[in-house]
A = this chain, B = another copy of it.
Amino acid sequence: MNAEALTPPPMPGDAAALIADMGAQARIAAKRLAQTPTADKAAGLVAAAAAIRARASEILAANADDMAAGRTNGLSGAMLDRLRLDEGRLAAIADAIDAVAALPNPAGTEIDRVTRPNGLMMSRVRVPLGVIGIIYESRPNVTADAAALGLMSGNAVILRGGSEAVNSNRAIHAAFAAGLVEARLPADAVQLVPTQDRAAVGAMLRAQGLIDIIIPRGGKGLVARVQDEARVPVLAHLDGVNHLYIDADADPAKAAELAVNAKMRRTGVCGATETILIDRAYPAPLGIIDALVAAGCEVRGDGAIATLSPHVEAASTGDWDTEYLDAIVSIAMVDGLKGALAHIDAHSSRHTDAIVTEDISAAERFLSEVDSAIVMHNASTQFADGGEFGLGAEIGIATGRLHARGPVALEGLTTYKWLVRGSGQTRP
């Protein structure tokens, strides 16, 4: 069943009016949430999680409709996998909401304070961003994750999911909203755009004053469109062209294990390594190649790497800038740390880059000089995930430089205001 077929697609003007109306309702809800104690927001999340569990059969039936439509529409196996819910995945979605409810809440906390010589006391206090627009594709869990993180940090959320997951998203959203209402929180705190018309996305992107920030979660096409069209500030997550550099002083056992894990644990995640750089002075490069090949990875190498093994294909220029999201890796031989830094500077998407070495000074130089959101020493790039950083669920990994960088969770969904407490001071 395709819900889109039930009503004619609205005109662009309708989309702007729809988003204006949703934005106004969201603003009212956001004002209320900004004054709602943490315990009450947490109780709302617990109720939302319970409602999702209670409605599991409805949600799974809606998901089955989406899966059937997806098969009819020829979605790829990877897309169908992202779309698919089962009892275990749905339980994980509800558990993730409970986990967010248990997180320490940054909203309302004091960042710093200073008393000036004239007696004025200045402090900065974290406050919610306001109204957050989330534009996402395929994964229905984003509906719950984004709603939970947004609500807990005191924001109202406007969700616009992909058409392939429309029934799943509606069912999850309906359960979530029912939980909020049960906990006496405003249902408008979490709204789902009711149309799949693409004009609604355009209206969200131009909703200055109504939506305070847009967070796109999806493929390159979606993110590029959002960045190009948005007049509302965007917290974007771009590619993860991530590097693992194996230094001359890397421990060979660790290096091979890290290379396989960083590349192959899950090849479709943004934290997967796409290029491995091997120091020309590293003694066991073949061990790295053999371990990857044995794990089922296709290896594309530069000239020096290709001569080491018949399993290596020649890399083309484009390989050094490619996010494969697949069981393919490019490997280049570099001249030490300096060569690795130059390659990463030229090709990294500044998401996550790592060094493997037992030489602490080389590691510290790498950590200092690589200008990426996440820089690692002797760890798998697959750890690039808000949960692994202790942030609870994440709303994405920001690859821009402003506001929040790397995994974005509750704190990234807040801003601050300055409070000035005086006793009648006038400025000379």
> A residues within 8 Å of B by Cβ?
31, 34-35, 114, 116, 120, 122, 127, 129-130, 212-213, 227-228, 231, 233, 235, 251, 254, 257-258, 261-262, 265, 354, 356, 363, 367-369, 371-380, 382-383, 388-390, 400-403, 405-407, 415-427
Contact = CB atoms under 8 A, between A and B. Distances in A.
The secondary structure that dominates the A interface is mixed
A420 B35 CA distance: 36
Number of this chain's copies in the assembly equals 2
Contacts of A423: 378
Contacts of A380: 425-427
A387 to B, nearest CB: 10
Contacts of A418: 373-375, 389, 405-407
A114 to B, nearest CB: 5
Complex A-B, nearest 6 residue pairs according to Cβ-Cβ distance, in ascending order: A379-B422, A261-B426, A254-B424, A376-B420, A382-B427, A403-B403
A375 B420 CA distance: 6
Contacts of A235: 402
A383 B235 CA distance: 32
Contact of A422 (B129, B377, B415): B377
A378 B425 contact: yes
Nearest to A382: B427
10 contacts: A116-B388, A213-B402, A261-B427, A367-B419, A375-B420, A378-B423, A380-B425, A380-B427, A402-B415, A406-B418
A388 B427 contact: yes
Contacts of A363: 421
- Quick one: which of A251, A378, A388, A422 has the most chain B CB within 10 A? A422
Contact of A390 (B122, B354, B382, B383): B122
Given A34-B371, A371-B417, A373-B417, 16 more contacts: A35-B369, A114-B390, A120-B383, A127-B371, A212-B402, A235-B402, A257-B424, A257-B426, A261-B426, A376-B419, A377-B420, A377-B421, A378-B425, A383-B422, A402-B402, A405-B416
A104 to B, nearest CB: 12
A114 B262 CA distance: 22
A74 to B, nearest CB: 33
Nearest to A360: B421
- Quick one: which of A375, A380, A425 has the most chain B CB within 10 A? A425
Contacts of A368: 35
A152 to B, nearest CB: 18
Contacts of A254: 424
